[in-house]
Amino acid sequence: MTWVDEDFQLHDERFEGIIARVIQHEYDHIEGILMVDRINSLRRVLLNRRLNDISSGKVETSYRMIFPQFKKRKNK
């Protein structure tokens, strides 16, 4: 990774392991990339199903969860 600090000093450093993953994750935020943009389509489908189950309250947890309440739209 190459960057310039607040004193305009050039830095060039290689990162590995968890710190490299954290840096990539945060850089992705800056670029508008989400985690789901980096996973394959099958994992994305499975993740979407799991998130839908969580949103609809179809999961059991040992802690209290608050689920969003969506208003139904009337057909016009």
Write out the catalytic residue numbers.
26
Among candidates 73, 42, 68, which has minimal Cα distance to 54? 68
> Rounded to whole angstroms, how far apart are CA atoms 65 and 50?
15
E strands within the chain?
2-4, 10-12
